[in-house]
Amino acid sequence: MTTANKIYYVPDDVKERAFIDRPTYHSMYYESVEDPEKFWGEHGKRLDWIEPYTKVKNTSFEYPNVSIKWFEDGVLNVSQNCVDRHLKTRPDQTAIIWEPDDPETPAKHITYKELHEEVCRFANVLLANGVKKGDTVTIYLPMIPEAAYAMLACARIGAIHSIVFAGFSAESLAGRIEDCASKVVITADEGLRGGKKVPLKKNVDTALNHAPVVEKVIVVRHTGGLDPEMVSNPGVDVDYSRAREEVADVCAPEEMNAEDPLFILYTSGSTGKPKGVLHTTGGYLVYASMTHQYVFDYHDGDVFWCTADVGWVTGHSYIVYGPLANGATTLMFEGVPSYPDASRFWQVVDKHKVNIFYTAPTAIRALMGAGDKFVEGTSRESLRLLGSVGEPINPEAWEWYYEKIGEERCPIVDTWWQTETGGILISPLPGATDLKAGSATLPFFGVQPALMDADGNILEGPATGNLVILDSWPGQMRTVFGDHERFVETYFSAYKGKYFTGDGCRRDGDDYYWITGRVDDVINVSGHRMGTAEVESALVAHPKVSEAAVVGYPHDLKGQGIYCYVTLMEGEESSDDLRVELRKWVREEIGPIASPDKIQFAPGLPKTRSGKIMRRILRKIAEDDFSNLGDTSTLADPGVVDDLVENRQHKA
């Protein structure tokens, strides 16, 4: 494609300011893989340890005896590292900026000193309600500061949190509560997103019918909209605002082993039933804080905004744990990018003078689709660096982000990682890495990616294959909660001795990595293997197309045909002429082999609640096998599926 080879060089001012320039990247990377023991032994010291570790790395990917331990005899506390240790140096610095859903509601600035008090009080409320070290606590909260307080409070007393995104239904919540047997659930009266109220407490009450393990529900007052129902279950419900007043404002952090669990988090469910990913204390925090500092080149005083929800791993590592461990100012946004209109992100950037902005391709594509007029009235001059995570970013969207949002001044870090990896594994470092639109570029320190062919051979040089990681890094998940066998089978059985990511990937002549999507999303058309992402990028590059999802379907002659679901830009009309035009466009962009067989215009695509396109559902519809769509509990809007089935192209 036209833009794929363009190189965006590191600007001089970025290079000068950065912690890591190119020679430093190469020498540190070399050290990190030559002698991980020494490298991580050194970098582990970025945290405060109650008992320093003497052992650094004790890991094995050998099937089936996979075992991962980092800093295994070290003792520390995550909340002490994220809060208490900053009290001496920056007590009055803002730790969290909270921007509410409604722009008219005042924002909050919470200092480290205030954060300390809030976390201690929350921890004491948990203790008073019987939570002990090693217990699991389910958190079902909107994006309010209490979500961060609750996470850090759990970490403070050694409880394992499991956050369930507040957009999930009562049934999904019940399943996750039961899976990790939480006796305590933390929720709010209501959430607020895009001006709409979300009945969180009511959902918890419904979930409790299917989750009898729950003994206490701690309810934070947020909207104040449900007053009488705050105590619908006497003896179970705890009014947090009252409980908070009744406890002390100090709470000693529990001494935790580096390998004690910190949290459980369920994956997005793009490819099947979500997995309860377990992360532990020491390695996770070392990795989250180090990637936050270097990938985002975070310097003291910067304002950092990650737009994810704390219900996803991105929110765990880059709203709460990484930034706070680094003494950063982190912005937490309650709302959505489109409310009150598609200018909101940029208005918030201007309002709080955000320097580093990290979001997902789904948001970038949606805002691009809404039109440039929503960008034009805003300044964005505080921005220095942009980031992307969650899906491959199409070059078209990358360029729009780079040109329109960053005004060609801000490098983009396209960060590839997974819930399982705890932190970013492949990404540019802004002061070190020249950029190519759509490439996640190079591995972070200690990360050894490799590409495999279907027969289990490692591919050298420029190649396309399945992405594996050859050795452990500190932020890696340790197990699937309660199902170690599923952990071993899912990640270590396909290629023995290696961590299999499930993603397909291409490496170019500069050793840059390009994630092509899920391995399942590779299609074979007349003997040519191609990633569906490539066809999608071509479609999105058309001026009338806002989003596209491409899947294969059985085709008599070609083996697999190319089925495209296309969402048009605001104000564009679908027509047969446009179908012909798009087909021609893709042939010109990629070649005749990629010519779409079917194009279905779709007002909406099925997405997970974290905004990822669920291609497995689209595949079923394209295959005319829509009676069994698999696990759809993580779909954001199940309604779009009916429309897609109704308008499928096979009937024609």
Instruction: Judge whether 591 is annotated as a binding position.
Output: no
Residues 604-623 that bind ligand ATP (CB under 6 A): 610, 612
Q: Name the residue nearer to ligand ATP (CB basis): 260 or 414.
A: 414
Q: Which of 129, 169, 418, 574 binds ligand ATP (CB under 6 A)?
A: 418
> Is residue 12 within a helix (H) or strand (E), and if so which, with residue range?
helix 12-17
Residue 390 touching ligand ATP (CB under 6 A):
yes
Q: Which stretch binds ligand ATP (CB under 6 A): 17-25, 71-79, 116-124, 387-395?
A: 387-395
Q: Name the residue nearer to ligand ATP (CB basis): 389 or 452.
A: 389
Q: Which of 238, 389, 452, 480 binds ligand ATP (CB under 6 A)?
A: 389
Contacts of 636 (CB under 8 A, 6+ apart): 167, 607, 608, 609, 611
Residues 225-284 that bind ligand ATP (CB under 6 A): 267-272, 274
Q: How far is CA 243 from CA 128, 141, 149, 218, 254, in A?
A: 9, 17, 14, 9, 21
Distance between CA 346 and CA 280 in Å, rounded?
36
Contacts with ligand ATP, 420-459, as mask; x by CB under 6 A:
--------------------x-------------------
Q: Which of 222, 279, 518, 615 binds ligand ATP (CB under 6 A)?
A: 518
Q: How far is the CB of 515 from ligand ATP (least distance, A)?
A: 4
Q: Name the residue nearer to ligand ATP (CB basis): 121 or 316.
A: 316
Q: How far is the CB of 418 from ligand ATP (least distance, A)?
A: 4
> Is residue 615 within a helix (H) or strand (E), and if so which, with residue range?
helix 615-622
* Helix runs in 504-614, H state only: 532-540, 576-589
Q: Name the residue nearer to ligand ATP (CB basis): 328 or 515.
A: 515
Q: Name the residue nearer to ligand ATP (CB basis): 201 or 518.
A: 518
Q: What are phi and psi of 137, to 5 degrees?
A: -130, 125
Instruction: Judge whether 131 is annotated as a binding position.
Output: no
Distance between CA 145 and CA 98 in Å, rounded?
7
Instruction: Judge whether 86 is annotated as a binding position.
Output: no
Query: What is the chain's percent helix, strand, coil content, to nearest 5?
Result: 35, 25, 45
Instruction: Judge whether 193 is annotated as a binding position.
Output: yes
Is residue 387 within 8 A of residue 357, CB to CB? The reply is yes
Residue 520 touching ligand ATP (CB under 6 A):
no
Taking alpha carbons only, the member of 155, 186, 123, 119 closest to residue 263 is: 155
CA atoms within 13 A on the CB side of 25: 22
Q: Name the residue nearer to ligand ATP (CB basis): 175 or 253.
A: 175
Q: How far is CA 125 from CA 139, 228, 245, 261, 641, in A?
A: 14, 21, 9, 21, 43
Q: Please calculate the CA angle 518-524-526 and round it to the nearest 5 degrees.
A: 165
Q: What are phi and psi of 201, to 5 degrees?
A: -60, -40
> Is residue 261 within a helix (H) or strand (E), and if so which, with residue range?
strand 261-266
Instruction: Judge whether 478 is annotated as a binding position.
Output: no
Q: How far is the CB of 317 from ligand ATP (least distance, A)?
A: 11
Q: Name the residue nearer to ligand ATP (CB basis): 257 or 388.
A: 388
Contacts of 306 (CB under 8 A, 6+ apart): 314, 315, 318, 319, 323, 330, 331, 358, 359, 387
Q: Which stretch binds ligand ATP (CB under 6 A): 164-172, 218-226, 498-506, 624-632?
A: 498-506
Q: Name the residue nearer to ligand ATP (CB basis): 172 or 388.
A: 388
Q: Which stretch binds ligand ATP (CB under 6 A): 171-179, 449-457, 497-505, 570-578?
A: 497-505
Instruction: Judge whether 415 is annotated as a binding position.
Output: yes
Q: Which of 148, 515, 530, 540 binds ligand ATP (CB under 6 A)?
A: 515
Q: Which stretch binds ligand ATP (CB under 6 A): 21-29, 177-185, 299-307, 417-425?
A: 417-425
The full DSSP string for 312-377 is SHHHIIIIIIHHHHTT-EEEEE-S-TTSSSTTHHHHHHHHHT-SEEEE-HHHHHHHHHH-THHHHT
Q: Name the residue nearer to ligand ATP (CB basis): 80 or 271.
A: 271
Q: How far is the CB of 279 from ligand ATP (least distance, A)?
A: 12
Q: How far is the CB of 518 from ligand ATP (least distance, A)?
A: 6
Instruction: Judge whether 346 is annotated as a binding position.
Output: no
Taking alpha carbons only, the member of 447, 353, 342 closest to residue 404 is: 342
DSSP lists the bridge partners of residue 413 as 387
Contacts with ligand ATP, 620-649, as mask; x by CB under 6 A:
------------------------------
Is residue 160 within 8 A of residue 191, CB to CB? The reply is no
Q: What are phi and psi of 27, to 5 degrees?
A: -70, -40
Count interface residues toward ligand ATP (CB under 6 A): 26
Q: How far is the CB of 390 from ligand ATP (least distance, A)?
A: 5
Strands (E), 435-483: 449-452, 458-459, 463-469, 479-480
Residues 397-416 that bind ligand ATP (CB under 6 A): 414-416
Residue numbers in the known binding site for Mg(2+) are 540, 542, 545
Residue numbers in the known binding site are 193-196, 314, 390-392, 414-419, 503, 518, 526, 529, 540, 542, 545, 587
Interaction site with ligand ATP (CB under 6 A): 267-272, 274, 388-392, 414-419, 440, 501-503, 515, 518, 610, 612
